[in-house]
Chains A and B, each alone.
Chain A
Amino acid sequence: MSDRTPAGGPQPGSEAFEAELRDEIRRELETHGSGAGGPEIVELRDVWLSFGDHEVLRGVSLGVARGGTLCILGGSGVGKSTILRLMLRLLLPDRGEVLIEGRDISAVSRPEALALRERMGMVFQGSALFDSLNVFDNVAFPLYEHTTLADDEIRERVEEVLSFVDLDPNVVLPLLPSALSGGMRKRVAIARAIAHRPPILLFDEPTSGLDPITTRRIDELILKLRRELHVCVVVVTHDVRSASRIATETALLKDGEIIFSGTPEEMHATEDRYVRAFRG
């Protein structure tokens, strides 16, 4: 982020820096006409899901447009990650629609679903890097799978995305995931998710288990993704501070229902008792 900081301007990570960054993103979104009010490329419409007798989701509706970041908040076990699994069609809803770029991923054939999945990049809570492959092979994996790029082009792309997530390719490329710290693993996972340039990125608890400084760096990285790649981001988290920093829209899930949705500012301004209790 320091590359965009003018001399004497706010320091990266500071509140002033984030406020300025947020304003800049809004201006960019308005300029590109892809902010709020644009077509939603990820949308859930009245989605119901139950596991046996336990209703996990009850009529959940939410959406996010290109260039936006939706943070789905909620306590443990309320079904936040389940929403991501529905978006990826790892689960099917009992009722309702899960629209990805206007197509109901739960209603299409499996090959079509695979094609829609290629439009998404997913960063798992535990990073889910392939532990038998080194960093290069991990990041290059989707490129070998879904592109016809030559080997040198793939190497170039891998180095590019690793640099994007502030990792030195010369250092990390030959390393196995077990040799990386938690924050580095997360950044490699982000690099892998963006390597094939998907327009939609999904994050499952991206800052869970990380120290405050690393958390801040991951948040800044998510902001950078939206600013520079104009991707649509859906983040599942229970970290209200993190959500306040990165979200353009928030949704709070409780007992399988969305009990609040709005901008981070609206979330902080609301008088709803549960929302106030949740944000602490």
Chain B
Amino acid sequence: MRSNAFWRSGEHTSIPERAPKIVPDGSARRSAARLARDAVLRMAFAVEAYCRLLVRVTKACLSQPFYRGDLVQQMDTIGVASIFIVMLTGLFTGMVLALQSAVEMERFGATVYIGRLVGASTIRELGPVLTALIVTGRAGAGMAAALGAMRVTEQVDALRTMGVDPIRKLVVPRFLAALVMLPVVTIIGDFVAILGGLLIAVLTLDFTAQLYINSVWDTLAQSGFVLRVIPIDLIQGLVKPFTFGGIIALTSCFHGLRAEGGTEGVGRATTRAVVTSSILILAADYFLTQILLAMFEW
């Protein structure tokens, strides 16, 4: 167990070091309880390091120096470069949703509500979650790989030796870019998904475009408005991607900066980043839904 320079170093808090590695003592009688305890300890250290990174990033966001050029570049990498694949995903999701719901709703003679179903499920749930998962696979993996490669080739150390805080230079621009761009990309994805539903409704279900659009709008209007103009559904649909953006950037940077063991280590860090981000997104989605429902509907 490390109890020395790694943990007392001020720099240690800026780059999250790996959790203390439990060195096997070679004893065949090592108990399952001890293994479990070690695993819990490692997890606890990782959670602590993650929280510490979040605090440092938040503080760094609110103070100078600030790397505007890097922020713009990351907005392009995370957001603009993801738009096409998000649109593609949204289009097919909207089309499938309309098709599947048409089959079920036809039994009850309720096909007129297809627009409502596609609109509500896309804006509230599928849009934010699918977009976040797509961006995780595309941009999150890229972030983890880039930072991991920088770490194993000592480029992160080089930054530190030049008096540059890697959190400010590498993590903050990615974090802010994801916070800003995820909602933007999600809105585009939502719009295209609803458009996909419209295509199916008009081309295969003999809906008029007006009927479908009115149906979607009814859904938005039904849940009410904030400040009389902003649909509550839209608020829900934007709070989620905002949160997911933070999760993707923070988790990817966290794992990237902890990469070790050469190129193989970078690969492991990337996999961990994608898996952890995806799980956190799905878990956060549940809790956010509970909170938002409690706030706006109950």
Give me the interface of A with B, judged by CB distance under 8 Å: 49-52, 88-94, 109-110, 113-115, 117-118, 120-122, 124-126, 128-132, 141-142, 145-146
Contacts and interface: CB of A to CB of B under 8 A. Distances in A.
Interface string B96-136: 00000000000000000000000000000000000000000
B10 A131 contact: no
A116 to B, nearest CB: 9
Top 3 A-B pairs ranked by shortest CB distance?
A: A128-B158, A128-B154, A122-B161
Given A51-B4, A52-B1, A90 B157 contact: yes
A146 B9 contact: no
Contacts of B155: 128-131
Given A52-B23, A130-B155, A131-B155, A145 B162 contact: yes
Contacts of B30: none
B10 A92 contact: yes
Contacts of A118: 162-163
B8 interface: yes
Interface range for B: 20 to 34
Nearest to A119: B163
Given A115-B163, A141-B162, A146-B163, A126 B153 contact: yes
A131 B10 CA distance: 27
Given A52-B3, A88-B160, A125-B154, 5 more contacts: A52-B20, A52-B23, A92-B9, A94-B5, A122-B158
A113 B161 CA distance: 10
B2 A52 contact: yes
B122 to A, nearest CB: 37
A142 to B, nearest CB: 5
Contacts of B3: 52
Nearest to B8: A92
Nearest to B10: A110
Nearest to B161: A122
Given A88-B160, A90-B160, A115-B163, A49 B5 contact: yes
Contact of A94 (B4, B11, B23): B4
A235 to B, nearest CB: 15
B162 A128 contact: no
Contacts of B20: 52
A21 B9 CA distance: 41
B164 interface: yes
Contacts of A129: 155, 158
B260 to A, nearest CB: 14
24 contacts: A51-B2, A52-B1, A52-B3, A89-B10, A92-B8, A92-B10, A93-B5, A110-B11, A114-B163, A114-B165, A117-B162, A118-B163, A120-B161, A121-B161, A124-B154, A126-B153, A128-B153, A128-B154, A129-B155, A131-B149, A142-B162, A145-B162, A145-B164, A146-B162
B1 A128 contact: no
Contacts of A145: 162-164
A114 B161 CA distance: 8
Contact of B158 (A52, A120, A130): A130
A35 to B, nearest CB: 27
B66 interface: no
Nearest to A146: B163
B296 interface: no
A31 B23 CA distance: 55
Contact of B10 (A52, A113, A120, A125): A113
Contacts of A122: 158, 161
B84 interface: no
Interface in B130-176: 146, 149-150, 153-155, 157-158, 160-165
Contacts of B153: 126, 128, 131
Contacts of A91: 5-6, 9, 11
A115 to B, nearest CB: 7
B139 to A, nearest CB: 16
Nearest to A91: B5
Interface string B3-26: 111101111000000001001000
Contacts of B162: 117-118, 141-142, 145-146
B1 A117 contact: no
> B3, B149, B163, B165: which has the most chain A beta carbons within 10 Å?
B163
Contacts of B163: 114-115, 117-118, 145-146
Contact of B157 (A121, A124, A132): A124
